[in-house]
Amino acid sequence: MSDTPALLPVDEARARILGLCTPLPTEWVPGDDALGRALAEDVRARRTLPPWDNSAMDGYAVRARDLAGPLPVRLTVGETVFAGRRPTREVVPGTCARIMTGAPLPPGADAVVMRERTRAVPDAPDAVEILEAVVPGNFIRPRGEDAKEGDVLLRRGTPLGIPELGLLWAQGQGTVPVPRRPRVAVLSTGDELCRVDEPPGDGIVDVNAPALALAVRRAGGVPTLLGIARDTREAVQEALSRVEGFDVVLTSAGVSVGDHDFVKDALEALGVEQRFWRVAIKPGKPLVVGQRGHTLFMGLPGNPTSSLVTFELFVRPALRRLQGLEDVEPPRVSGRLDGRLSKAPGLAHFVRVTATWRAGELWAKPLGTQTSGALRSAAAATHLLHFPYDSSSLTDGSHVELLPLSWVA
Ligand code: AMP
Ligand code: MG
């Protein structure tokens, strides 16, 4: 009998991880530091916007009823209203006001005729000829169209994109309440590892730490590199004992069943409760997840591509949930397989592909070397193709699920 526990399906593993994550405490930050983060509270409108009915066009503010007769209709121009100024006169029958985009509508007017539908009258500079009839409300942006004071403008959990921040700025709100960014410690483990700036000798350059740090930053977290721990129980344990104040601790390598794989032992010795180990997935099977207090520990596999794939499928959603985002599942799009794939059932494969748009569909072509160590195919990939765990073959043209990668340039 095997003493290794059953492999967890991918979705179940992610659901368990998300179950360990609740949004971090709120901080108020300037809007431009809130991009991509989630609102920690509902935000209500402080201002009604637009504050008055105003013109959507450069043209003439008219009374629609004046244009009911035969066209063109000649009107007397009372004044010109610019954006940022207030009208001073009422538009009475037979008159109009020249008006610029964004300028408040003068009293009496109920529609705007765009300038292109009018004609100057050569011998009468105070008059204009209107060439078309319009209905009341034509080219008017009504008061309160965008926001009414007191309305909930954006709900808690809303991801803040550029227009959302625009909405808040338009309200005169320069700072925004968001859960603080997760603090993430990143530790590499392995006797063979050296830093990129060291003479390599027989060593393998530590790619995971800097790559994961970038992935953390791109997912909104704040990474701190803990360096490289050698393959002894003591070294890994010592490095992992220095994680006070971190929300998430990421390690790479040393989580398989090798003789020098000490990460699980070290976590246990430090009182981290293991939540699960091993997921039915390739690449990335040996993932281990644990928790101590509020700190989440995720032991990622050592192969650089495996660690990036598990980051994408498990760590990024966790970091996003800690930042209060609700919709944190990896995004998916549907596509077709350009080629054929086969495997034994039992593991879900996430195949590196390049996907291109052809004849109205996204066609995904698997990249050459798919071994966990190969970074070349990770570099060229635009998506991961989900080859379900119970399936053993996908024929040319199969409909497939594709995950756009967050790690691309
Ligand atoms: P392990 O999980 O320790 O068996 O490592 C699996 C493979 O990943 C080995 O070939 C390691 O040399 C390689 N590896 C582990 N950590 C890193 C790292 N930080 N950067 C690059 N390769 C690594
Ligand atoms: Mg190792």
Q: Among all ligands shown, which has an atom nearest to the Cα of 208? A: 1
User: 105 near 99, Cβ under 8 Å?
Assistant: yes
Q: What pTM was estimated for this model as a whole? A: 0.92
User: What pLDDT, in 10s, does the model give residues 49-89?
Assistant: 999 999 999 999 999 999 999 999 999 999 999 999 999 99
Torsion of CA 9, 14, 15, 16, to 10 degrees: 90
For range 274-297, the mean pLDDT: 97
Q: Is the dihedral of CA 189, 195, 199, 205 positive or negative?
A: positive
Position 3 pLDDT exceeds 70: no
How much is the pLDDT for 199?
85
For range 1-24, the mean pLDDT: 87
Q: What are the φ/ψ torsions at residue 61 (nearest 5 degrees)? A: -85, 125
Q: Which residue has the higher pLDDT, 35 or 370?
A: 35
Ligand 1 within 6 A of CB of 274: no
Q: Among all ligands shown, which has an atom nearest to the Cα of 288? A: 1
Residue whose CA is at the smallest distance from ligand 1 atom 18: 206
Calpha distance 394→388 (Å, rounded) = 10
Ligand 1 within 6 A of CB of 231: no
- The first and second tokens of residue 362, run together, are 């996204």
How much is the pLDDT for 5?
62
Q: Is the dihedral of CA 377, 378, 382, 387 positive or negative?
A: positive
For range 184-206, the mean pLDDT: 93
User: 50 near 146, Cβ under 8 Å?
Assistant: yes
Atom of ligand 1 nearest to the CA of 228: 19
How much is the pLDDT for 196?
92
SS3 state at 208: helix
User: What pLDDT, in 10s, does the model give residues 217-267?
Assistant: 999 999 999 999 999 999 999 999 999 999 999 999 999 888 889 999 999
User: 288 near 298, Cβ under 8 Å?
Assistant: yes
Distance 343 CA to ligand 2 centre (A): 26
For range 108-122, the mean pLDDT: 97
Distance 304 CA to ligand 1 centre (A): 7
Position 2 pLDDT exceeds 60: no
For range 99-122, the mean pLDDT: 98
How much is the pLDDT for 1?
43
Alpha-carbon distance values, 243 to 221, 224, 273, 322 (Å):
15, 10, 15, 18
Distance 206 CA to ligand 2 centre (A): 11
Atom of ligand 1 nearest to the CA of 192: 12
Ligand 1 within 6 A of CB of 79: no
Residue whose CA is at the smallest distance from ligand 1 atom 14: 302
Residue with tokens 């293991």: 274
How much is the pLDDT for 4?
56
Where would I find the H helices in 2-115?
Answer: 10-18
Atom of ligand 1 nearest to the CA of 286: 2
How much is the pLDDT for 235?
96
pLDDT band at 372 (very low <50, low <70, confident <90, very high): confident
As a whole-number percent, the residues of the chain with pLDDT over 90 amount to: 93
Helices (H) and strands (E) in the chain, counts: 8, 28
Q: Which residue has the higher pLDDT, 175 or 200?
A: 175
Calpha distance 84→139 (Å, rounded) = 18
Alpha-carbon distance values, 15 to 10, 92, 119, 385 (Å):
9, 66, 66, 20
Calpha distance 203→197 (Å, rounded) = 12
Distance 279 CA to ligand 1 centre (A): 18
Secondary element (H or E) of residue 380 = helix 376-380
Ligand 1 within 6 A of CB of 305: no
How much is the pLDDT for 105?
98
Strands 152-154 and 43-44: antiparallel
How much is the pLDDT for 52?
97
The mean pLDDT of the chain is: 96
Distance 303 CA to ligand 1 centre (A): 5
User: What pLDDT, in 10s, does the model give residues 304-335?
Assistant: 999 999 999 999 999 999 999 999 999 999 99
Ligand 1 within 6 A of CB of 193: yes
pLDDT band at 374 (very low <50, low <70, confident <90, very high): confident
For range 190-194, the mean pLDDT: 95
- The first and second tokens of residue 156, run together, are 């808690």
Distance 210 CA to ligand 1 centre (A): 14
pLDDT band at 201 (very low <50, low <70, confident <90, very high): confident
Closest CA to 300 of 292, 312, 291: 312
